């Protein structure tokens, strides 16, 4: 019985030695391979708005001013950005109010990253004020959202009269106009 125990112990030790030699060889071989780089993660940031659609470069309305300016057509519910050389750099549909603010030449006089409606029932982003209404300033801004965070209209509804006086834009266009139109930028409102 002792010889049997010795034989079993010998086989066990032999198996253990083979396992250790394989493990050691694998571990040594693994050291020759450089360690994997940790995954690179971007810092948390705001999700950017979706890319804008391809620009629709419809012609400017007749008698819509000159120089660097924003042109807003109340009938077409469309805005154009025009550079000093008369090149249209961007145009898109908006939602304003019929015959508001009235035809004429205005200038950007104030901007706010965030704002609320007169009664506080809606909030907007990217406000660019250019005219004075009877009870509040009139400007370009994003589509308002109610207190529950729901938009008051969809982007598909831009191009129709939907506003109480300001000019609603998609978030993307509102953010771009906020950067493009500095204080003093001319705004021409046409029929």
What are the DSSP calls for 140-182, one per residue? EEEPPEETTS-BSS-GGGTTS---SSSEEE-HHHHHHHHHHS-
- The whole-number pLDDT of residue 128 equals 98
- Is residue 12 located within the same domain as residue 91? no
Does residue 22 register a pLDDT over 50? no
- Is residue 86 located within the same domain as residue 137? yes
Work out how many domains the chain is built from and give that number: 2
- The whole-number pLDDT of residue 26 equals 43
Q: Quick check: is 62 in a domain? A: no
Per residue in 120-133, pLDDT (tens digit) is: 899 999 999 999 99
Residue 18 DSSP label: H
- The whole-number pLDDT of residue 119 equals 86
Does residue 79 register a pLDDT over 70? yes
Print the domain residue range for 90. 69-190
Does residue 152 register a pLDDT over 50? yes
In which region does residue 75 sit, left (phi positive, over 0), alpha (psi from -120 to 50) or beta (all else)?
alpha
- Is residue 104 located within the same domain as residue 157? yes
Q: What is the pTM of this model?
A: 0.70
Return the CATH number at 172.
2.40.440.10
């Amino acid at each position: 019985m002792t010889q049997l125990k010795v034989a079993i112990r010998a086989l066990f030790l032999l198996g253990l030695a083979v396992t250790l030699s394989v493990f050691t060889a694998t571990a040594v071989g693994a050291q020759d391979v450089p360690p994997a780089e940790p995954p690179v993660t971007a810092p948390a940031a705001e999700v950017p708005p979706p890319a804008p659609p391809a620009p629709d470069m419809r012609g400017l309305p007749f008698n819509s001013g000159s120089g660097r300016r924003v042109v807003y057509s109340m009938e077409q519910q469309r805005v154009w950005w025009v550079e000093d050389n008369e090149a249209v750099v961007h145009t898109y549909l908006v939602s304003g109010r019929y015959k508001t603010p009235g035809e004429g030449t205005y200038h950007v006089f104030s901007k706010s990253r965030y704002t609320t409606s007169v009664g506080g029932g809606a909030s907007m982003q990217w406000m660019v004020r250019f005219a004075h209404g009877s009870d509040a300033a009139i400007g370009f801004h994003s589509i308002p959202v109610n207190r529950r965070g729901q938009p008051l209209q969809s982007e598909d509804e831009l191009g129709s009269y939907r506003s109480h006086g300001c000019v609603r834009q998609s978030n993307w266009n509102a953010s771009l106009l906020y950067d493009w139109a500095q204080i003093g930028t001319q705004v021409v409102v046409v029929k």
